[in-house]
Structure 1
Amino acid sequence: MWQPFEYAAKSKIIFGKNSLERLGEVVESFSVQRVVIVTDQGIIDAGHAQKAVENLTQRNITALIFSDFAENPTTENVKVGVQFAKENDIELIVGLGGGSSMDCAKGINFILSNGGEMHDYWGYGKAQQPMLPMIGIPTTTGTGSEAQSYALISDAKTHRKMACGDPKAAFKVAILDPELTKTQPVSVIKATGIDAISHALESAVTKRRNAMSASFSLYAWKLLNEHFERMLFEPTDEETNTNMQIGACYSGMAIENSMLGAAHASANPLTKNFGITHGHAIALMLPHVIRYNATHAQDIYEDLCRISGITVGSCAGKALARRVEKLISFTELPTNLRAYDIPSDAINNLAAEATKEWTAQFNPRMVKHNDFVTLYNRAL
């Protein structure tokens, strides 16, 4: 039986080759004059930020760049961004880049518009005042942040990721330009691609899964499964970039409607405690979580296998996990915790933290402390 649901698209999506050129037109529709583009140094070096600035200045819109933030933006990064926005009388925020740029843009907007600190918005629906309009422009094929109303901000002291969400934190417009993703380094494609795949597969089976989210999850998985390998070896291929970008966006839309599960809950403590890149941590845990969930998500795993042409055999969960492991093998990323020098005596603490992660509650099969211990041991 399907879960009851309500669905309203929070973001207008503009897709097409060279659609970055429409940024000025979109910004102008909000009748603003001063814009901050939140982006990282890699995007600046690739020339994308300058193109965005030029597109805006041609319409007499003042565009400033803020890039003083980390790969996983912290509460301190957000504070610096808020101060920058205040000093420059910013009226609209553009998040240009990967998930870090878009998360930082949202974080800045929370505090700039509503005051307080990021901890005040940990959870969902805590922004009491209207927020500035935002535009999201992804340059990676991974996080799907352009389609979500959450900002993931790390506590600068504890390094724990806080999911801060609110309907008002959704981008008013998301611009999907596959030309922008052609400049991704292969290392970024590996990490963000696996992350997008995990979004599709986890959102497909969560307790909050519904008819709407399922449609996004299934089609996202189909696109990502078919094109991820080619993306690694032909990163500038136009068709591949297009399909990966749409797949990543659909995965984000699925998360927005159904949340995530134990793979993300177990990956986040690895990033927090050992500095493992999020996509790499997901690669370590996702196959084990799929096998763990097999008894509670068999029918859905069969659908995922069927849509991607995977022979099921005796267990769809095992078949799907093997396919995911094959996709991970193309990246040549490590597949066990030992490769990151994580000792076995760290597992108990990792499991304790994983049980507190917000996504654990949405996993289709209940996952307690001892279950996370088992999952980490399997990843050793």
Structure 2
Amino acid sequence: MWQPFEYAPKNKIIFGKNSLARLGEITEQFTVKRVAIVTDQGIIDTGHVEKAAYYLTQKNITTYTFSDFAQNPTTENVTAGVDFAKEHQIELIIGLGGGSSMDCAKGVNFLLTNGGEMQDYWGYGKAKQKMLPMIGIPTTTGTGSEAQSYALISDSKTHRKMACGDPKASFRVAILDPSLTVTQPTSVMKATGIDAISHAIESAVTKRRNALSASFSLYAWKLLNANFESMLFSPENEEANMGMQMGACYSGMAIENSMLGATHACANPLTKNYGITHGHAIALMLPHVIRYNADHAQDIYEDLCRISGIVIASCAGKALARRIEKIVAATELPTTLSAYGITADAINNLAVEANEEWTAQFNPRIVKYNDFVSLYNKAL
């Protein structure tokens, strides 16, 4: 059955090796002279920021670098970024790095242009004023934040992740330069790669999926499944990096049109309460959620299996879950909650929080408190 939907592309995507060199000419088109690069210290150390600043300087654009934020950007980090942007009279913001850099850039833009607190924008479409133009440049493979209008910001007091979205918060331009991803540490490659894979699989089956989001999800999964292990074992493999970067971007485009599901609802409380890296938390929960959804998403799981050459013995969901377990095994990440010191006593509280997560409502199979208890117990 065809589901009605609306699709309005919000950004221009530029893909290609060494496409970062176009940053100056692209930024110049916005007729700005003062630009903030929001990035982290690790990206500064690679030399990517210096190179980006050089291309901007060639067009007589002055750059200022803001890097005072955490792996999961907080409301305090965003406030500091707003003060920085005001001090330097910033006219355009560049998010250069992983999802943290791009999320922080969006968060700063929300408050700089619309005022208030980050909590005011929790949800979607709450920005009333125009926002500054932004350019997203991912260096990981990756969250797909460059293709989304959402910023994930953690409340500094409660540590809960808030998804703050608005059409105006989209990057006007996303520059996908696969040569930038070669420098990502293996630990980052594992976490962000698993995250991208979960984006493709979850967005494919949500209640909000539509014909267009499905095409993004399926092709994203095809690229990610084919290239993740190649990139993991041969980090300098250009073809694998290109495939992963495009797969992550397609996953982001799918999320923008479809949202996520129970895996992310399970993962966020693990990050909040135990500091487990988001991608690691996803790796723990994704196979169990796929099996939970199997009977309610069988046709789509069959499509995902077929497009990636996975043999279906009896149940497509089980076959897909086994493939994810093989991918996680290749990363050597822990596969149980107990490996992180989480005991059965913690599961009830985790389930309460997972049940309150926004993405839970989009899961193809209804998932409530008792179901989350079961999912966490399977991961124990």
User: Which residue is 1:53 aligned to?
Assistant: 53
User: Which residue is 1:26 aligned to?
Assistant: 26
> In percent, how many aligned pairs have the same letter?
80
User: Which residue is 1:71 aligned to?
Assistant: 71
User: Which residue is 2:184 aligned to?
Assistant: 184
Task: Confirm or deny: 8 A CA contact 1:191 1:278 kept in the other structure.
Answer: yes
Summarize the alignment of residues 72-111 of structure 1 with structure 2, pairs less than 5 Å apart. Answer: 72-111=72-111
User: Which residue is 2:283 aligned to?
Assistant: 283
**1:77 Cα deviation after fit:** 0.1
Which residue identity does 2:26 align to in structure 1?
A: V
Q: 1:355 & 1:10 partners in 2: Cα distance? A: 31
**1:187 Cα deviation after fit:** 0.5
Which residue identity does 1:28 align to in structure 2?
A: E
User: Which residue is 1:250 aligned to?
Assistant: 250
TM-score norm. by structure 1 comes to 1.00
Q: 1:139 & 1:25 partners in 2: Cα distance? A: 20
Q: 1:356 & 1:86 partners in 2: Cα distance? A: 35
Q: 1:45 & 1:21 partners in 2: Cα distance? A: 19
User: Which residue is 1:236 aligned to?
Assistant: 236
User: Which residue is 1:149 aligned to?
Assistant: 149
**1:102 Cα deviation after fit:** 0.1
Summarize the alignment of residues 124-135 of structure 1 with structure 2, pairs less than 5 Å apart. Answer: 124-135=124-135
User: Which residue is 1:336 aligned to?
Assistant: 336
Which residue identity does 2:106 align to in structure 1?
A: K
CA offset digits 1:159-186 (Å, max 9, x no partner): 0000000000000000000000000111
Task: Confirm or deny: 8 A CA contact 1:94 1:136 kept in the other structure.
Answer: yes
User: Which residue is 2:301 aligned to?
Assistant: 301
**1:313 Cα deviation after fit:** 1.3
**1:58 Cα deviation after fit:** 1.1
**1:287 Cα deviation after fit:** 0.1
Which residue identity does 2:281 align to in structure 1?
A: A
User: Which residue is 2:346 aligned to?
Assistant: 346
Q: 2:364 & 2:205 partners in 1: Cα distance? A: 6
Q: 1:187 & 1:196 partners in 2: Cα distance? A: 14
Task: Confirm or deny: 8 A CA contact 1:98 1:139 kept in the other structure.
Answer: yes
CA offset digits 1:236-279 (Å, max 9, x no partner): 11101100000000000000000000000000000000000000
Q: 2:250 & 2:135 partners in 1: Cα distance? A: 17
Q: 1:366 & 1:129 partners in 2: Cα distance? A: 37
User: Which residue is 2:119 aligned to?
Assistant: 119
Summarize the alignment of residues 146-225 of structure 1 with structure 2, pairs less than 5 Å apart. Answer: 146-225=146-225
Residue 12 of structure 2 corresponds to residue 12 of structure 1: yes
Find the residue that maps to 1:204 and give its secondary structure.
helix
Find the residue that maps to 2:321 and give its secondary structure.
helix
**1:3 Cα deviation after fit:** 2.0
CA offset digits 1:333-369 (Å, max 9, x no partner): 0000000000111100000000110000000000000
Task: Confirm or deny: 8 A CA contact 1:3 1:208 kept in the other structure.
Answer: no
Find the residue that maps to 1:37 and give its secondary structure.
strand
* Displacement over 3 Å in runs of 4+: none
Which residue identity does 1:31 align to in structure 2?
A: T
Find the residue that maps to 1:179 and give its secondary structure.
helix
Residue 293 of structure 2 corresponds to residue 262 of structure 1: no
Q: 1:320 & 1:2 partners in 2: Cα distance? A: 25
Task: Confirm or deny: 8 A CA contact 1:121 1:164 kept in the other structure.
Answer: yes
Q: 1:102 & 1:241 partners in 2: Cα distance? A: 20
Q: 2:55 & 2:157 partners in 1: Cα distance? A: 38
In the alignment of these two chains, the number of paired residues is 380
Task: Confirm or deny: 8 A CA contact 1:13 1:173 kept in the other structure.
Answer: yes
Deviates more, 1:49-58 or 1:143-152: 49-58
**1:325 Cα deviation after fit:** 0.3
Unaligned runs of 5+ in 2: none
**1:42 Cα deviation after fit:** 0.6
Q: 1:116 & 1:333 partners in 2: Cα distance? A: 40
Which residue identity does 1:231 align to in structure 2?
A: M
Q: 2:21 & 2:63 partners in 1: Cα distance? A: 15
Q: 2:115 & 2:296 partners in 1: Cα distance? A: 43
**1:2 Cα deviation after fit:** 2.8
Q: 2:14 & 2:2 partners in 1: Cα distance? A: 30
**1:4 Cα deviation after fit:** 1.1
Find the residue that maps to 2:110 and give its secondary structure.
helix
Unaligned runs of 5+ in 1: none
Which residue identity does 1:166 align to in structure 2?
A: D
